[in-house]
C-alpha cells in the first residue's frame, strides 16, 4: 500500500480498517510538516497490511529514512522471505535521480546482507519500465544480479498491459512490478493486473500468489551462520595499516574520453565495477587479518562494555 497522507502519529488508524489485518508502515509526512508549510507532495509512504490468519511469522525489519522502502520478513519452517515494498522517484532528467536510486538500492542491499539465507521479493511502484532504455532500470540491474532477482511481468495472465494511466495525457505505462528470487519464480501463480471500476487511483494493483507452505522443496536450505566483526576487540592500528597498504595497490587504467560530461560508455561502467570490487576486497581482507569475528548467537544482546566494567 502506498501514497497515504497520514503523519506518523496517525498511522495506527490503518489497524482499524479490518480486524483480520495488522499494519506495518512509515510516512514522510512527519518530517515535511515539521519543517514548515506543506508544499507539493511529500513522496515516500510505503506500507504492508498483513492478514492475521496467514500461517507464517511476519516481522518488521525497518524502513528507509526517506520513507521510500519498507522491509518485512516472512518466516515459516524452512521458508524464509525478505520482502521489500518500494516507491521509487520519477526520472525527471536530474543527475540527482541516480544518486537517490543508489541510496535506496544501497539500503536494500545492506538489509539483504543482514539476512543471509532469506530469498528476496521486491515489489511496488518503480516508476520505470523494465527496459535498458530507462535509466532507472539500468541502475537497478546490478541489484537484480546481486540478489538473483527476476521480474514477473511475463507471468501476468490477462492482457491489460499497463499499471499506470493518465487519462488527460492519454498516457499508459507498465511501471509497477514484482521482482522475486529466481528460486521462487516457479512458485508464483495467478499473476494479473486488476482493472476494476471501484479503483479511483491512477495505478492498477498487481495480484499474485506465492505459497507459504513449508513442504515445497524449492525452499529447502541449509542453516547459514551469521558472523559479526568485533571492532571493540580488534587491532584498529593494524587494520588502518593493512587497509592503507592494500588500497594503495589498486590500479586499473581507464580509457574514458568523456571526463568533461556524463559518460554513457558501457566499458566505463565495467571499470567502475572493477574499482568498487577492488576496494571492497581490500577492506574485507584487512578486516579478516585484524578484526576478530564471532557468531551472532554467541553474543549476549544485553551485555556491553559498561556492564563488563561493573562486573570487574
3-state secondary structure 108-155: HHHHHHHCCCCEEEEEEECCCCCCCCCHHHHHHHHHHHHHCEEECHHH
Task: Record the pTM.
Answer: 0.62
Q: How many helices (H) and strands (E) does the chain have?
A: 6, 14
* pLDDT of res. 42: 53
CA distances for 179 relative to 88, 165, 203, 306, angstroms:
14, 21, 18, 45
C-alpha cell belonging to residue 96? 540527482
Q: Name the CATH architecture for the domain at 8-219.
A: 4-Layer Sandwich (3.60)
- From first to last of the 312 residues of the chain, give the pLDDT tens digit: 566 666 666 666 666 777 777 666 666 655 555 555 655 555 556 777 777 777 778 888 888 877 788 888 888 777 888 999 898 888 888 878 888 888 889 889 989 988 888 999 998 889 898 888 889 999 999 999 999 999 988 888 777 777 777 777 778 888 888 999 998 888 888 888 877 767 667 778 888 888 765 444 444 444 445 677 888 888 999 999 999 998 888 877 766 655 666 676 666 777 777 778 788 888 888 888 898 887 766 656 556 667 667 776
- How far is it, in rounded angstroms, from Cα 152 to Cα 180? 7
CA distances for 291 relative to 113, 231, 240, angstroms:
19, 6, 11
* pLDDT of res. 302: 58
- How far is it, in rounded angstroms, from Cα 140 to Cα 105? 7
The ranges assigned to domains in the chain are: 8-219, 227-311
CA distances for 108 relative to 12, 93, 175, angstroms:
25, 24, 19
Amino acid at each position: 500500500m502506498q501514497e497515504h497522507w497520514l503523519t506518523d502519529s496517525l498511522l495506527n488508524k490503518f489497524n482499524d480498517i479490518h480486524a483480520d489485518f495488522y499494519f506495518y508502515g512509515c510516512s514522510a509526512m512527519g518530517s515535511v510538516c515539521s519543517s514548515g508549510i506543506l508544499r507539493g507532495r511529500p513522496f515516500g509512504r510505503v506500507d504492508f497490511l498483513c492478514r492475521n490468519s496467514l500461517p507464517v511469522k511476519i516481522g518488521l525489519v525497518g524502513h528507509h529514512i526517506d520513507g521510500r522502502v519498507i522491509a518485512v520478513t516472512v518466516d515459516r519452517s524452512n521458508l524464509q522471505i525478505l520482502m521489500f515494498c518500494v516507491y521509487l522517484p520519477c526520472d525527471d532528467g536530474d543527475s540527482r535521480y541516480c544518486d537517490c536510486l543508489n541510496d535506496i538500492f544501497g539500503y536494500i542491499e545492506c538489509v539483504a546482507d543482514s539476512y543471509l539465507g532469506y530469498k528476496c521479493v521486491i515489489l511496488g511502484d518503480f516508476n520505470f519500465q523494465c527496459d535498458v532504455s530507462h535509466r532507472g532500470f539500468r541502475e537497478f540491474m546490478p541489484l537484480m544480479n546481486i540478489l538473483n532477482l527476476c521480474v514477473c511481468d511475463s507471468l501476468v495472465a490477462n492482457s491489460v498491459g499497463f499499471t499506470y494511466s493518465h487519462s488527460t495525457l492519454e498516457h499508459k505505462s507498465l511501471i509497477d512490478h514484482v521482482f522475486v528470487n529466481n528460486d521462487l519464480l516457479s512458485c508464483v501463480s495467478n499473476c494479473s493486473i486488476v482493472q476494476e471500476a471501484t479503483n479511483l487511483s491512477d495505478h492498477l494493483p498487481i495480484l499474485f500468489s506465492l505459497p507459504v507452505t513449508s513442504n515445497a522443496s524449492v525452499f529447502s536450505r541449509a542453516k547459514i551462520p551469521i558472523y559479526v566483526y568485533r571492532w571493540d576487540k580488534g587491532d584498529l592500528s593494524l587494520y588502518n595499516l593493512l587497509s592503507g597498504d592494500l588500497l594503495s595497490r589498486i590500479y586499473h587504467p581507464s580509457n574514458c574520453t568523456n571526463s568533461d560530461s556524463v559518460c554513457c560508455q558501457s566499458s566505463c561502467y565495467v571499470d567502475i565495477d572493477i574499482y568498487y570490487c577492488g576496494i571492497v576486497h581490500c577492506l574485507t581482507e584487512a578486516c579478516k587479518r585484524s578484526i576478530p569475528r564471532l557468531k551472532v548467537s554467541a553474543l549476549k544482546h544485553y551485555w556491553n562494555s559498561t556492564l563488563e566494567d561493573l562486573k570487574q
